[in-house]
């Protein structure tokens, strides 16, 4: 949702529920387990400036009551990075939800305001 890629969010939400995922988790971060909530800050960084992730971010995830193992952190970062790049690809291709999914059949590729194109 950070990239406003509703197509991908809905696709993954549908698949999550198809695999018997907890419906509550889709209601927002308040409903997610604390361990997953700890990824919020690290998720926001690659969305816009991935070069700002530091060793300290990784160490913070590996400490505390809901600590991640280093391999879990690396896997989570790989998934986050893949998701962000896929959102950019989908938005760049103009892919959007179909009308029956609450979207439109295409996205405008230009903001010229010329309706005749």
Task: Give the separation between CA 30 and CA 34, rounded to whole angstroms.
Answer: 9
Sign, CA dihedral 13-15-81-9, equals: negative
Residue 5 a catalytic site member: yes
Could you tell me which residues come within 8 angstroms of residue 44 by beta carbon, excluding any fewer than 6 positions away?
Answer: 2
Catalytic annotation, pick one of 5, 62, 87, 93: 5
For 4-62, how does the pLDDT look when each residue is reduced to its tens digit (9 = 90+)?
Answer: 788 888 889 999 999 999 999 999 889 989 999 999 989 888 777 888 999 999 999 99
Alpha helices in the chain (DSSP H): 6-18, 34-37, 40-48, 55-61, 70-93
For 54-100, how does the pLDDT look when each residue is reduced to its tens digit (9 = 90+)?
Answer: 999 999 999 988 899 999 999 999 999 998 889 888 888 888 776 55
Provide the angle, in degrees to the nearest 10, between the axes of the packed helices 6-18 and 70-93: 130
> 40 versus 105: which is more confidently predicted?
40
pTM of the full structure: 0.72
């Amino acid at each position: 949702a950070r990239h406003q890629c509703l197509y991908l969010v809905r696709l993954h939400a549908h698949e999550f529920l198809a695999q018997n995922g907890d419906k509550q988790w889709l209601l927002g971060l308040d409903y997610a387990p604390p361990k997953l909530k700890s990824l919020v800050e690290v998720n926001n960084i690659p969305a816009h400036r991935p070069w700002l992730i530091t060793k300290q971010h990784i160490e913070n995830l590996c400490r505390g009551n809901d600590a991640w193992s280093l391999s879990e952190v690396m896997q989570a970062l790989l998934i986050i990075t893949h998701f962000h790049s896929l959102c950019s690809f989908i938005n760049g291709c103009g892919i959007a939800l179909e009308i029956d999914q609450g979207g439109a059949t295409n996205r405008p590729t230009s903001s010229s305001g010329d309706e005749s194109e």
